[in-house]
Structure 1
């Protein structure tokens, strides 16, 4: 396993297009599992604020809707995107609804959980778990669902300057 293994994954976006994560080489990437009907859903605002502030410096957010936590992401991919764009003005990339735990976990999330282990266990424990990936594709840190996006800003700025 090398730092660049992150770039070996291909995942479907919300429109069904296969996207190679190699498209993100040289960028700082935050990967986050999202849900539209969660108490943490307002974090979309903070995520978008970070994206607006740093996208021109090489920062990307890639969001993966997930319905595995209290069925808080029930909509179709189109409905999820419309909700995020209309209610929170989200402009970062939203991928297809996926599994982040269990037997149907997509390979990207198996990798993220292995490389960015949680403090108590590997499983994703709730919506809005965030992973920060360096410009070289190394998973640097995992943040809990309750970590507000603004609390991650300092880490993003540091990575962008490297």
Structure 2
């Protein structure tokens, strides 16, 4: 899936229509054009390796990919974030079967353009901000954010929602 590019300029998140217009850095620091995910239903999630949700969410994301990755095109894009109690660390102690990206800010002036776009398209009545780690955005095959689920929603509980977009 990863396609390296150089000299990347992301679109104005206010004008973007899909995630496919954005480029992000993967965990190795390489640029990845998200257009590589065209035709895939995706879950984009901010993660932390030291959060109370980590172990069971990672296990359930792995299960979702094993069950629906190849036959339904489900892809999970995980973005580590330190903005919530510094709960991320430099190394991961988990076997992951989903795509891990570079650390990002999801809130504030320094927030990733992709995350600004996600929050704009799927805000909450209380505002366009991320409350905690493991906020999940479902992205349809056209790259459009169609649902947002907060940290307490377990990944396996999203299957019925995901089925709408396959």
1:59 equivalent among 64, 71, 74: 74
Which stretches of structure 1, 4 residues or more, deviate above 2 A after TM superposition?
none
Distance, in Å, in 2 between the alignment partners of 1:106 and 1:143 is: 19
Aligned to 2:24, the other structure's residue is in SS state strand
Corresponding residue for residue 114 of structure 1? 120
Which consecutive unaligned segments of at least 5 residues does structure 1 have?
A: none
- Alignment RMSD (CA, Å): 1.1
Distance, in Å, in 2 between the alignment partners of 1:35 and 1:153 is: 22
- TM-score normalised to the size of structure 2? 0.87
Distance, in Å, in 2 between the alignment partners of 1:92 and 1:47 is: 7
Corresponding residue for residue 62 of structure 2? 48
Corresponding residue for residue 36 of structure 1? 49
Aligned to 1:159, the other structure's residue is in SS state coil
CA deviations 1:48-102 (Å, max 9, x no partner) are 1111111012110000000110110032xxx13xx232xxxx1111000111111
- TM-score normalised to the size of structure 1? 0.89
Corresponding residue for residue 148 of structure 2? 142
1:1-162 matches, within 5 Å, as: 1=15, 3=17, 5-42=18-55, 43-56=57-70, 57-75=72-90, 79-80=91-92, 83-85=93-95, 90-160=96-166
Distance, in Å, in 1 between the alignment partners of 2:115 and 2:69 is: 23
The count of residues paired between Structure 1 and Structure 2 equals: 150
Distance, in Å, in 2 between the alignment partners of 1:72 and 1:7 is: 29
Aligned to 1:140, the other structure's residue is in SS state strand
Which consecutive unaligned segments of at least 5 residues does structure 2 have?
A: 1-14
